[in-house]
């Protein structure tokens, strides 16, 4: 694990939420326009997520969830406003620095799994370490550990087409966490799963969070969102509510 992208410690320690090194995500009036004429997919969103949180970003189709995920995941830069991820201002980093930040600090899980079909579970997961410069045998060793962690120690050499949807998503989650990223982003992780597999994937995300990973789940599924401690609801690109059941209001 490189120290390059270790959390930047703020020297001022103001104690406020803004600028604190304890925050993994700090969005300040972030806007993202797509296309021409521009469509405002994310509209002046301010959102702070502290290290160790587990939250849902919930909203209907077209509300801007994936656009927001792309900003949080540093796959995209804001049109305006400021996005700080792991203490780094996304607007000021080069593409190469953003790639390195992603490789070291962020794991992604998508609705469509995005696994290589003809490749074993171990090698699918081992691929998650390529950008960290880890050698093949060490990648495989860590992949076995990650697969065991997600309950797939008995499916190491299976290929995705020999697995259920729930198992595939577990492989995808193992790949996302094999490099121990502090932040895990999941975009509709249960969208292609039956209810039982979906529930067990959500339980797995809870377990990863309990072990210390900050987890953001993007979903249109209000019931799923209600199983998470914090729910940020977006509509038309704007945050319309932010409910945290851990804190008494």
CB of residue 112 to Mg ion, shortest distance in Å: 11
Q: 165 or 191: whose CB is closer to Mg ion?
A: 191
Taking CB under 6 A as the criterion, which residues in 171-200 touch ligand ADP? none
Candidates 62-70, 88-96, 123-131, 196-204: pick the segment binding ligand ADP (CB under 6 A).
62-70
CB of residue 188 to ligand ADP, shortest distance in Å: 8
Taking CB under 6 A as the criterion, which residues in 197-236 touch ligand ADP? none
Residue 34 binding result from Mg ion, ligand ADP, none, given CB thresholds of 5 to 8 Å by partner type: ligand ADP
Residue 209 binding result from Mg ion, ligand ADP, none, given CB thresholds of 5 to 8 Å by partner type: none
**22 touches 51 (CB < 8 A):** yes
**70 touches 34 (CB < 8 A):** no
For residues 170 and 153, what is the distance between their CA atoms, to the nearest angstrom?
11
Of 30, 41, 224, 228, the residue at the interface with ligand ADP (CB under 6 A) is 41
Q: Is 58 helix (H, G, I), strand (E, B) or coil?
A: strand
Q: By rule CB under 6 A, what count of residues binds ligand ADP?
A: 12
Taking CB under 5 A as the criterion, which residues in 34-93 touch Mg ion? 65-66
CB of residue 56 to ligand ADP, shortest distance in Å: 13
Cα distances (Å, whole numbers) of residue 82 to 20, 150, 172: 15, 35, 30
Q: Is 37 in the site for ligand ADP (CB under 6 A)?
A: no
Spacing of C-alpha 125 from chain mean position: 16
Q: 59 or 107: whose CB is closer to Mg ion?
A: 59
Exposed/middle/buried for 97, CB within 10 Å: 0-12, 13-18, 19+?
Answer: middle
Q: 200 or 233: whose CB is closer to ligand ADP?
A: 233
Q: What are phi and psi of 143, to 5 degrees?
A: -65, -40
Sign of torsion, CA 107 186 224 21?
positive
Which two tokens mark 25?
A: 């995500």
Q: 76 or 167: whose CB is closer to ligand ADP?
A: 76
For residues 222 and 56, what is the distance between their CA atoms, to the nearest angstrom?
9
Binding site residues, ligand ADP, CB under 6 A? 34-35, 39, 41, 59, 61-67
């Amino acid at each position: 694990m490189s120290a390059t992208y270790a959390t930047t410690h703020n020297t001022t320690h103001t104690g406020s939420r803004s600028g604190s090194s304890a925050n993994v995500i700090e969005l300040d009036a972030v806007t993202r326009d797509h296309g021409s004429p521009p469509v405002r997919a994310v509209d002046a969103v301010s959102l702070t997520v502290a290290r160790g949180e587990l939250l849902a970003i919930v909203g209907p189709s077209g509300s801007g969830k994936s656009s927001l995920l792309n900003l949080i995941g540093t796959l995209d830069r804001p049109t305006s406003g400021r996005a700080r991820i792991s203490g780094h201002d996304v607007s000021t980093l080069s593409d190469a620095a953003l790639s390195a930040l992603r490789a070291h600090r962020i794991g992604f899980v998508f609705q469509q799994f995005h696994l290589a079909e003809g490749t074993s579970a171990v090698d699918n997961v081992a691929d998650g370490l390529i950008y960290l410069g880890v050698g093949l045998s060490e990648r495989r060793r860590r992949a076995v550990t990650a697969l065991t962690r997600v309950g797939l120690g008995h499916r190491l050499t299976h290929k995705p087409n020999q697995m259920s949807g729930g198992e595939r998503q577990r492989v995808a989650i193992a790949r996302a966490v094999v490099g121990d990223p502090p932040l895990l982003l999941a975009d509709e992780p249960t969208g292609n799963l039956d209810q039982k597999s979906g529930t067990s994937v959500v339980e797995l995300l809870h377990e990863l969070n309990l072990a210390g990973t900050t987890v953001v789940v993007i979903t249109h599924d209000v019931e799923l969102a209600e199983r998470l401690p914090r729910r940020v609801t977006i509509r038309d690109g704007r945050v319309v509510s932010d409910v945290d059941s851990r804190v008494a209001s």
